[in-house]
Amino acid sequence: MFKPRVYVSRQIFPDALDLIEKTAEIELWPHDEPPSPEQLKEALSDVDAAIINVMDRIDGPLLDAAPKLKVLSQVAVGLDNIDILEATKREILVGYTPGVLAKSTADLAFALLLAVARRVVESDKWVRDGNWKISHHPMFWLGSEVNGSTLGVVGLGGIGIETAKRALGFDMKVLYHSRTRKRDVEKEFGFKYASFKRVLAESDFISLHVPLTPETHGFIGEKQLRSMKKSAILINLSRGPVVDTEALYNSLTKGWIAGAGLDVFDPEPVPTNHPILGLDNVVVLPHIGSASSGSRREMHLLAARNLISGLKGERLEECANPELYETLGI
């Protein structure tokens, strides 16, 4: 019996591969290094569907070279790497994996917040470098107070809500700004909606959870950083280009803000000689927001189910262009 062909651009959990193998033949990219744009283009040229990664750039010219493609299933919640309009024009369903990664990503947001506030990475290095010479000093390594402070969440989607919920365990006041006001969430958890200007001005910690769009590119620049408290700490788990990197560097070296915790960067990977890596008041992670074993497995399984549904002519569990359903008659 004929089986459709599927390309998988990264390693994924074995049970997700097993799920796909029941329906399709798999071509799995075998390397730790991602495929180049040319390799990705060649791989997609003769397949019916693909599981892709957020670092795979999908645009019109690439899709023109993939005439058989029916389904793109992304292992991520962000979709800024895919030209959804071009995919929709070609009647290609685009799946993604929201929801299942919200809790683990929020955990990391709070890990970054605590690491920067309490100078965890900086003091760990100090100890490893052999500088701990006396048993205790009451003024050693004083950090920022977390308990009872104010957290400002910018973008109250699934990850933003989960991050804000974690703040309640630290008796923090939560302000938020989002495109859509969430009155039901306000009522349930006591979060306070505020203007973007107020969130920047009043928050001790600001956590970014907005998608990367033309409107949010460079969303946090010099003006916004200067409007924050000098004691504020910025956390970014959205996308690197949401923050103007040069302005952030200036803010960290000139005292406009106290520190930053970054799981994303512009560009990625961050160049090893980038000056921001030499600063003690910033913690930089390699885009691992959802990287818990449970979350990644669930993401891979959801991506596999999305792909299989599309190949069977069924609706996806999570679809970025559901307007295609009517066109495709599903």
Mind telling me the catalytic residues? Answer: 239, 268, 287
Q: Are 82 and 69 in contact (CB under 8 A)?
A: no
Q: Are 276 and 245 in contact (CB under 8 A)?
A: yes
Q: How far is CA 11 from the centre of its chain?
A: 19
How far is Cα 318 from Cα 98, in angstroms, rounded to an integer? 7
How far is Cα 192 from Cα 168, in angstroms, rounded to an integer? 13
Q: At which residue do the structure tokens 């599309």 appear?
A: 310
User: Which two tokens mark 84?
Assistant: 């959804």
- DSSP lists the bridge partners of residue 154 as 177, 208
How far is Cα 163 from Cα 174, in angstroms, rounded to an integer? 10
Q: Are 47 and 69 in contact (CB under 8 A)?
A: yes
In 3D, which of 266, 310, 263, 246 has the Cα closest to residue 96?
310
How far is Cα 39 from Cα 81, in angstroms, rounded to an integer? 17
